[in-house]
Structure 1
């Protein structure tokens, strides 16, 4: 356990807040989960990431992708919206998963958490998507 803790302390951690609220419950939970560890946070609400096959010059997917590629551990935090992950996270996953040339997650640790007043019915479908995403994007 101590060896594992030392390993985590040296990791570059990126927390992706997929909530519409930059400093809401999802952000708070991500920081609480990581306690005193140094982390970088992306609030997806701050980026224009267009849907698959939409090509606009102000698309910022590349900026988010660059940050993903520079990290060791990616933590995805999403509120439960309509019994699913947020649209922000779904769009990011779709964009990463649609490019067969990307190996964005190769060798990276991936974690996810879902928060909401009752996210129990959201856990199974989101876990299924995240598992498939990890297989495709590695």
Structure 2
């Protein structure tokens, strides 16, 4: 089972980035230790921080029409600052790893991560489209 631990952004991170974001060394060290532990356990698939929303854009769909909106985006609490992708045997194991996730903002600071399970191809009824995705996965 794969799960994504999603680190929510903060207004401070979104504002700070204009001057060049530098992570708190203590938080960075805790994150490194946590991810090393995940890797040793064979659970880590990927992890990364994201640039602030001012560096991104959104694509909106309205019927056949698409429009692009450049960042920054206003609701920092709805934005993602980073993620960790893990593969574990159960929801309970994912929950235990999530409980151990270091506070991404720093000790004593309010922060939030969200955990979501990824779909697996076996979750879908067999179809030609599912097989196309299996072939794509096999070709990696």
Q: Larger RCO: Structure 1 or Structure 2 (Cα < 8 Å, ≥ 6 residues apart)? A: 2
Question: Could you tell me the TM-score, scaled by structure 2's length?
Answer: 0.29
Q: Which has the higher strand share?
A: 2
